[in-house]
């Protein structure tokens, strides 16, 4: 049995690869391949799932819809040719597979439909929390109602119930796979300090620009509210020591021994310690997508600072706040960058002193995002529906 996972984005690839990993655990003889449409498919590669699609990193990182300029940047970088190559590849290899799993939005849905195979969809990019009711496009409805679409997984229970009410009876909620990546093995927190997590994102060079903004907030917190803070930055492997040294030189910081320093301000920098940082922090400065969702899932508050994009603009941050609810507070975009940093500092010191709000975040975040184990539950449902056909 061979399964093709089709996805279109960083978070989508992560969800798909986690499901694929569990499929292989349940059925070791099963072959699972990844077909990332956006980016290089790092999540598949990390889990030893072969990537079979043509890949190329685009300037927008897949976030074309956030700014019309991104469309022109991607087209000039070869988006149309890449899409044609991907469609040609899909047409050539589709006969190799028995079943398809589409993770994302309309694009992977369409790709899955074009294979002519039976498939399931995980609508990870859609949620009824954005507007109270999910308005699917006519194309989405056509594909989801196709007899070859055997199951539809929603990212949250509210969306599943909404789509069921709209007449899509094959929609289920089984959990959100990315929550399965959160682990806590090492204690990082100093009891006498308030820990602030820095989540600058994963896409370069945007993540470095975001980190520079977050470092300014750290300065403001120490200058205005004293030395009660412990700052921990959760960064990806692509942000190397050389890049951190270069960034520090540009903004007046020094990077040595895994720490960024400026006068009395110190920021500990960690790779592969994301779960520990978000589980132990009191509050996070979030300028990311998936990382902010995971932080909310463990019941922590997040202050979002709109940046310059291509991903983390005010439009993205505001939509994410509607998606995630109480735990997420977004700094207003009309302020100058310095004023945004000052407002973020004010919000952070206010949040860590509000014990009732922190208790509400702990309860609300877990309710909103659901329980762990979603990737295994989805994998079992996929195998069950495959065996029934």
Q: How confident is the model at residue 109 (pLDDT cuts 50, 70, 90)?
A: very high
Q: How confident is the model at residue 244 (pLDDT cuts 50, 70, 90)?
A: very high
Strand partners, 259: 256, 268
List Cα–Cα distances, 12 to 58, 193, 232, 249, in angstroms: 16, 35, 26, 35
Q: How confident is the model at residue 67 (pLDDT cuts 50, 70, 90)?
A: low
Q: How confident is the model at residue 335 (pLDDT cuts 50, 70, 90)?
A: confident
Query: Is the pLDDT confidence value at 62 over 60?
Result: no
The residue ranges of every structural domain in the chain are 2-181+372-387, 194-369
Query: Is the pLDDT confidence value at 345 over 80?
Result: yes
Give the residue-averaged pLDDT of 241-256: 95
Is residue 55 a contact partner of residue 83, using CB atoms and an 8 Å limit? Answer: no
Question: What was the pLDDT predicted at 245?
Answer: 96
Give the residue-averaged pLDDT of 249-263: 94
DSSP per position, 8-59: -SHHHHHHHHHHHHHHHHH-TT-EEEEEESSB--HHHHHTTPPB-S--B--T
Task: For the chain, give the percent of residues with pLDDT over 90.
Answer: 79
Give the residue-averaged pLDDT of 115-128: 96
Q: Do domains 2-181+372-387 and 194-369 have the same CATH topology?
A: yes
pLDDT in tens, 180-220: 988 777 888 888 899 999 999 988 889 999 999 999 999 99
Query: Is the pLDDT confidence value at 274 over 60?
Result: yes
Question: Cα dihedral angle (111, 116, 117, 119), rounded to 10 degrees?
Answer: 40
Tokens representing 269 are: 């920098």
Is residue 206 a contact partner of residue 309, using CB atoms and an 8 Å limit? Answer: yes
Among 27-36, 122-131, 310-319, name the one with the lowest average pLDDT.
310-319
Peptide bond into 284 cis (omega under 30): no
Summarize the chain as % helix, strand, coil (round to 5). Answer: 50, 20, 35
Q: How far apart are alpha carbons 134 and 141 in whole angstroms?
A: 11
Question: What was the pLDDT predicted at 276?
Answer: 94
Is residue 316 a contact partner of residue 289, using CB atoms and an 8 Å limit? Answer: yes
Instruction: Assess if CATH 3.40.50.2000 describes domain 2-181+372-387.
Output: yes
Q: How confident is the model at residue 79 (pLDDT cuts 50, 70, 90)?
A: confident
Q: How far apart are alpha carbons 122 and 100 in whole angstroms?
A: 11
Count Cβ neighbours within 10 Å for each residue of 73-91 and write b for 16 or more, e otherwise. ebeeeebeebeeebeeebe
Q: Would residue 267 be called left, alpha or beta, if left means φ above 0 and alpha means ψ between -120 and 50 degrees?
A: beta
Question: What was the pLDDT predicted at 359?
Answer: 96
Q: How confident is the model at residue 57 (pLDDT cuts 50, 70, 90)?
A: confident
pLDDT in tens, 145-188: 999 999 999 999 999 999 999 999 899 999 999 999 887 778 88
Strand partners, 254: 261
Please state, rounded to an integer, the average pLDDT across all residues of the chain: 92
Pick 194-369's CATH classification: 3.40.718.10, 3.40.30.10, 3.40.50.1000, 3.40.50.2000: 3.40.50.2000
Q: How confident is the model at residue 272 (pLDDT cuts 50, 70, 90)?
A: confident
Is residue 125 a contact partner of residue 16, using CB atoms and an 8 Å limit? Answer: no
Query: Is the pLDDT confidence value at 72 over 70?
Result: no
Query: Is the pLDDT confidence value at 64 over 60?
Result: no
- Provide the whole-model pTM: 0.88
Is residue 283 a contact partner of residue 218, using CB atoms and an 8 Å limit? Answer: no
Length of the chain: 389
Listed as own residue / partner, the contacts of 360-364 with beta carbons closer than 8 Å and 24 or more positions apart are: 360/326, 361/299, 361/300, 361/301, 361/326, 361/327, 362/299, 362/300, 363/299, 364/299, 364/325, 364/326, 364/327
Cβ neighbours for 334, distance < 8 A, ≥ 6 positions apart: none
Q: How far apart are alpha carbons 198 and 18 in whole angstroms?
A: 25
Q: How confident is the model at residue 260 (pLDDT cuts 50, 70, 90)?
A: very high
Q: How far apart are alpha carbons 248 and 258 in whole angstroms?
A: 12
Q: Which of 261, 268, 260, 196 is nearest to 225 (CA)?
A: 196
């Amino acid at each position: 049995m061979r399964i093709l996972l089709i996805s279109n984005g960083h978070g989508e690839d992560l969800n798909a690869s986690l499901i694929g990993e569990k499929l292989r655990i349940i059925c070791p003889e099963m072959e699972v391949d990844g077909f990332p449409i956006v980016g290089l498919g790092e999540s598949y590669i990390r889990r030893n799932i072969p990537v079979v699609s043509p890949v190329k990193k685009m300037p927008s990182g897949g976030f074309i819809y956030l700014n019309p300029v991104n469309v022109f940047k991607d087209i000039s970088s070869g988006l149309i040719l890449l899409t044609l190559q991907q469609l040609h590849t899909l047409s050539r290899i589709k006969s190799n597979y028995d079943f398809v799993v589409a993770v994302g939005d309309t694009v992977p849905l369409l790709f899955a439909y074009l294979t002519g195979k039976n498939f399931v969809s995980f609508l990870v990019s859609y949620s009824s929390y954005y507007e109270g009711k999910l308005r699917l496009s006519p194309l989405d409805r056509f594909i989801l109602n196709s007899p070859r679409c055997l199951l539809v997984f929603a990212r949250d229970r509210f969306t599943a119930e909404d789509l069921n009410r709209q007449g899509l009876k094959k929609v289920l909620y089984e959990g959100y796979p990315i929550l399965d990546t959160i682990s806590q093995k090492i204690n990082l927190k100093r009891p006498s300090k308030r820990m602030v997590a820095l989540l600058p994102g994963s896409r370069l060079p945007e993540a470095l620009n975001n980190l520079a903004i977050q470092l300014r907030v750290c300065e403001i917190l120490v200058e205005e509210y004293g030395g009660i803070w412990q700052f921990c930055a959760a960064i990806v492997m692509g942000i190397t020591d050389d890049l951190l040294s270069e960034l520090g030189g540009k903004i007046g910081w020094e990077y040595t021994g895994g720490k960024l320093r400026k006068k009395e301000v110190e920021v500990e920098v960690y790779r592969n310690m994301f779960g520990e940082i978000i589980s132990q922090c009191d509050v996070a400065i979030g300028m990311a997508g998936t990382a902010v969702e995971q932080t909310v899932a463990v019941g922590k508050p997040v202050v979002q600072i709109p940046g310059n994009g291509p991903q983390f603009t005010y439009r993205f941050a505001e939509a994410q706040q509607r998606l995630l609810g109480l735990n997420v507070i977004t700094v207003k975009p009309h302020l100058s960058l310095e004023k945004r940093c000052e407002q973020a500092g004010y919000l952070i010191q206010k949040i860590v002193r509000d014990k009732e709000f922190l208790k509400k975040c702990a309860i609300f975040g877990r309710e909103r995002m659901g329980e762990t184990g979603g990737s295994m539950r989805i994998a079992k449902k996929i195998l069950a529906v495959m065996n029934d056909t």
